[in-house]
Structure 1
Amino acid sequence: MDMEIRTFRNEDISGICNLINSELEYDVSCEDLKAQISQMQEDKNYVIFTAVDNKKIIGFIGLQICLAFEIKGKVMRIIALAVTCYSQGQGIGSALIQEAERYAKENNISTVLVNSGLKRAKAHHFYEKNSFYKKGYSFCKRIN
């Protein structure tokens, strides 16, 4: 494997869209995703890194930098992380987290946060293996 982790490029959208739909099991159109990412690119508080092997997107991590009331300094939320099923277990997800942590250190970010769906037991184990700990529950309410 000749994998590299790099900053997002616009040509990565279809690969990321495939990962979101297949691995995260969300139903997102590539057009809607392109519009969302376009807005993210205009805001310095969003960062996306991609894992690429042989010019193919095999993983990505999306990050949002913000503030929290209870945590001193800036925090960074992992808002999406996915690796293709055939590449899982090879350290790619951990490498993406390490890249996020490197970015956090360079930008004086004190804490990395992540939410993970209740049914995603493999993801929970993965995050714990990468030194995350359970802090609470996540709640969601749609407004339209």
Structure 2
Amino acid sequence: MNIREYNSNDLHALVELMGELGYPTEEEILKKRMERIEYDPMCFTFVAEVHSQVVGMIGIRQLYSYEIDEVATQINALVTKKEYQRKGIGTALILYVEEWTRNNGSETIVLNSGIKESRKAAHEFYKALGFEVTGYRFIKMVTMR
């Protein structure tokens, strides 16, 4: 397995991965999202390859916080192709980001995960990797005028 930075040639694979994560999208839509993400100097996307095929991805961003002095690293997306789950890909991506975080001025990694029944296995996965549940996530959609 190889973990490397995302590039635009990975777009089609990311469309499939976003669908598996529960956020189906189209290539043109994701292309625009990825262009915005790539333009942001605080955002980074890494992919996991097996035999030159993208089988997983992790998207992170560094952010400043009101609670701590240092920059925190937030995992925004993590997904492995269904047929590659439970083969160490997700763990390798998290460990890669842990090392990346240490090398890029941060000591804290945070992530949000929905409370849906379908996310329970993911929650156990995160706990097994040392993440702690520290709160709730609230969301409110506001309409644009």
Pick the TM interval, shorter chain: over 0.9
The 8 Å contact of residues 15 and 24 in structure 2, kept in 1 or not, is answered as: no
| Fraction of identical pairs, as percent | 32
Aligned with 2:80 (options 80, 83, 106): 83
In 2: Cα distance, 1:29 partner to 1:40 partner: 16
Offset, 1:57: 1.0
Offset, 1:72: 2.5
Offset, 1:16: 1.0
In 2: Cα distance, 1:32 partner to 1:142 partner: 20
After superposition, the CA RMSD in angstroms is 0.9
Length-normalised TM-score, structure 1: 0.94
Secondary structure of the residue aligned to 1:15 is helix
The 8 Å contact of residues 62 and 78 in structure 1, kept in 2 or not, is answered as: yes
Hey, what does 1:134 align to over in structure 2?
133
Offset, 1:59: 0.2
Hey, what does 2:8 align to over in structure 1?
10
The 8 Å contact of residues 46 and 57 in structure 2, kept in 1 or not, is answered as: yes
Offset, 1:37: 0.8
**Counterparts of residues 19-34 of structure 1 (less than 5 Å):** 19-22=17-20, 24-34=21-31
4+ long deviations beyond 2 Å: none
Aligned with 1:98 (options 91, 95, 98): 95
In 1: Cα distance, 2:113 partner to 2:134 partner: 11
Unaligned runs of 5+ residues in structure 1 are none
In 2: Cα distance, 1:140 partner to 1:30 partner: 26
